[in-house]
Structures are given as C-alpha cells and as structure tokens.
Amino acid sequence: MFATLVHHAYLKFMRSASFSRNMATLIFLGFLCLLFGSYFLAAAFLLDSLLQQFFNTENTFPYLCQLLIYYFTTEVLMRYFLQSLPVLDLQQYIHLPVGRKSLMHFILLRSYVHPFNFLSAIFFLPYTLHVLVPQLGGSSAWAWWGSMVLLSLLIHNGMFIFKKHLDDKPLGTGLLIGLVALSAFSQYMDWFSLGKMTAPFFEMAARLSWLPVVLAAGLVFAYVLNLFFLLRHSYPEDWGRQGAEKIQQVPALGLLQRLGLAGELIGLEIRLILRHKRSRSILMLSSFFLFYGLIFYTNPDYLNDMQAFLIFVGIFITGIFMMNYGQLLFSWNSGHFDFFLTKPITAYDYVKAKYYLMVGVGLLTFVLAIPYVYFGWKVLYINTMMLLFNLGVNMFVVMNLSMWAPKKINLSKGSMMNYEGLGAAQWLMAIPIIGLPYAVYIPFAIFDNPTLGITALGGMGLIGLLFHRRLLALSTRRVESKKYQISHSFRNEN
C-alpha cells in the first residue's frame, strides 16, 4: 500500500504542469541548494575552529551549548517559513477500500523525508567525532549527538502540529513570532541571556546516557498525537464545516463599501487574503519582516558610513507587501478572473482597487515602522522618502510587470517554498524595484550630496502620487488590451 502511494506521489510530481513549465526555476533552486549545502558542510567541519577563534578558547563545548538554543530557534523559524508539509488528496482515496489510518501513517512518515530532518545529524557529526569522542568518551559523545538529532525531530513534530492546526489562527502565529522577538530583544537589551539559561540542559545531554531514550519516547508520543489529530480531521463533513466556519469569521467591511465600487472590490480582496492560506501567509510574512530594520539600524556602521544601503532597507520595509503580493497581483484572482469580465465592473475600478489596497498596506507598514526613529531622525526621513517612492513609482512598476504572462495559483497552499505562479517577470521584478532608486541616487552621491539624492527619490514618488490617476489610466489600458489573454492563460492552466 505504501509503495502504491509513493508511486502516485511520484507520478503527480512528474506529470505536474508546473514541473515542465518551470524547469528553469527548478534548476536554479537546485543550484542554490547545492551552493548553500556546500556552505553548510564547510561550517560543520570547521565548527570547532570557528568557535575557538570567536571565543578564544580551546574548550569550545560549553560555548557551543550556549549557542544551541539559537541554533534550534533558527531551525524552528526555518521549518515554519520554508518547510512545506506533505499533502494527500484524501478525496481520491476516501471512497476506496483503504484504511484512513494507513493514509495518515503515509503522510506522517513522508514528512520525515525532508532535508531539515537530516541537518542536525550532519551538522553535529564532525564535531562529535573530532572533539567530543576524544574529550568525553564514546558513550557520552554519542548520547549528546543522539539527543540533538532527536530534539530536531521533536521540533519537526511540533511544527507539524502547529502548521496543521494552529497556522491558520493569527493567535498561534503571533505567539510564535512574539516569543522569538522577545528572546532576541531581551538578549539585545542585556536583560537575560537565553543561551546561558539553557546551556546546562545541553551539557546535561552528554552526562545522561538515558536522555536519548526519553527523547525517543517523546518522539513516539508526538507521532501518536499527530496521528490522532489527522484521523480526527479526515472526514469530508469536517472539511465542509471548517470552510463554513472560516467564512463566518471574516469581519464585515461596511466602511469600504461606502467608497463605492472600488471599495467593494478592496473588501473582496481583503476577504480573499484572510480566507486563503497562501495570501494569508504573505500577509504574515510581511508583518514579520517589519523587524528587518533591527539587523541594520542597530549597527552604527550602516547609519554613519553606509547610508546608501539604508535606501534598500527603507524600500524593503515600506514595500514588502507590495513586492510579495504585487508580483502575483492578477494571479490571486485566477480562479474567478472571468467574473470580472462578465460583471459590470470597469477595468479602471479593478486596477484602482488593487492600487489602493497596496497603498493602504504600505501606509500601515510605514506607521508600524515609525518606532525606528529611536535610531535617529535620519532613519525616519529615509523611510518616509522610500515610502513616497514606493507609492508613486514602484507600485506602478510592479502592477505593469505583473501583467506579463501571469499564471494560475492554488490559494489553499502555503507561500513558503511554493513557486507556483512565478515566472520570469516575477523573478526579474526585483531589478527595477531595487535598481531604479539607486540609478537616481548614485549621481547625487558621486557629487557628495547623498541627502539630496534621497530627497529626489521622495520627490519622484510625490510626483507619481500627484499624477496617480493618469498612471492608473495608463495601467488600465494595458489591462484592457491583455485581459482576454490573461483570462485564457488562467483557464488553460492545469
């Protein structure tokens, strides 16, 4: 039975329309995997040397134990944002003489065949062989290595439960991001060191030979718990009831309806974002990247000597939703694009609703980023100018590039490691978004007037905002000329 299910999964992958259409994307991603995999292996073999140089000590094991909590926290975030869980179309098997328990076992066991589940085993193996075995002895060293591997698998099971049952709830995602942000902020403010607090546990793993047995028992319990949850939510009547509950949870948008037809379309777009997993993931990811500035604003070198790089940070913070959502601007409606062709809705209202939605979210992200003024008024000034540039220039660039051969997407899938709907236009979109501001800024920087260059970017954006109706009209003409071609491409996607 398991062999049949594996064969079906293989055929589904090989016969997928996206596999043949996006072969170049798959090759590029494979190259990136090989590149970062080589870096990861190099870090694994040089771990002891890197720790010796960084901490200036020969005995690196206690310091490694202090860093392990950050390693596993990074693993949690990587699994949450990058790891896609295996799925199985149960409706294709539910009417066949196949036990639901067998299908659930297949989903769970298949989830273990993922590169993230082997990272810890590979990363800590050279350190265990060359450092811990001579220092602690074979039994203690392998007990510690086994504990790290089992702890990673426990995180995998925890993420499985979280993404299957709590990922759709904003409270669960907010709690995860809040805990990570709180631990990072407390470390930065020197309130307490999470690494020093958790280091005794990781050191204990080398002294307690029975700890891997306890972790293995916890792994079995987590597996059974996942199996229980999957079995409990694998009935067709549950799927229909869950869909109805989601619809009832969407808030009323009466305020937008007062704005006319464009407001009603914005309301429909907001409902689409909130109800579907992929669009909701984009929204949550954009919220998470508001903390992107903490990486650079806390470093005086960027604030004083690398002002040009702050342009990129400002564009990224105030335009992250525009970049993520706008690159698939028309693909979000691929399942019902014909609706807009058959209803008395003008293309201008359709385009204007898209634009105003991105403008509203851009203004919201700017307001949420205002506390970065703590690092200096220069930061607020740059972010303000980049907001104007995004609203007046970049949004129209994104809007027009998104019309270039858009593809149909499945809104029920997550956004991480999901390249459905992404084509050449989406990959190349970053070039004008990032390159155009620097094309304006660099001449001013060469003549030693970088502040004027930043002001010029804001001025261009302000001009675009003043003439946004004209620019919307130009974009509408393109939509009018390409709407049937776009609709045809959506209908012929498999």
Write a three-state SS string for 216-243: HHHHHHHHHHHHHHHHHCCCHHHHHHHH
Residues of the chain with pLDDT under 50: 237, 239-252, 494
Dist. CA 24–CA 31, nearest whole Å? 11
Residues 320/365, Cβ–Cβ less than 8 Å: yes
Q: What is the CA angle 427-174-266, rounded to 5?
A: 55
Residues 358/271, Cβ–Cβ less than 8 Å: no
What does the pLDDT read at residue 250? 40
What does the pLDDT read at residue 111? 83
Each residue of 279-306: pLDDT tens digit? 777 777 777 778 777 777 877 777 776 7
Tallying the residues shown for the chain, one arrives at 494
Residues 402/326, Cβ–Cβ less than 8 Å: yes
- Please give the backbone phi and psi of residue 429, each rounded to the nearest 5 degrees, phi first: -60, -30
Dist. CA 286–CA 361, nearest whole Å? 10
Closest CA to 281 of 385, 404, 411: 411
Closest CA to 402 of 459, 454, 329: 329
Other CB atoms within 10 A of residue 300 CB:
11
What does the pLDDT read at residue 245? 41
What does the pLDDT read at residue 252? 42
For residue 145, how far is the Cα from the chain centroid?
30
Residues 6+ apart with CB under 8 A from 111: 85, 86, 156, 160
SS3 414: coil
What does the pLDDT read at residue 145? 92
What does the pLDDT read at residue 13? 64
* C-alpha count within 13 angstroms, C-beta hemisphere, residue 256: 18
Dist. CA 100–CA 291, nearest whole Å? 43
Each residue of 213-236: pLDDT tens digit? 999 999 999 989 888 888 876 665
Residues 375/300, Cβ–Cβ less than 8 Å: no
Residues 104/230, Cβ–Cβ less than 8 Å: yes
- H-only helix segments in 250-306: 254-257, 261-275, 277-288, 293-297, 300-304
Dist. CA 421–CA 327, nearest whole Å? 9
What does the pLDDT read at residue 246? 42
Dist. CA 151–CA 145, nearest whole Å? 10
3-state helix, strand, coil in the chain (%, to 5): 80, 0, 20
- Tokens of residue 369, six digits: 């980023």
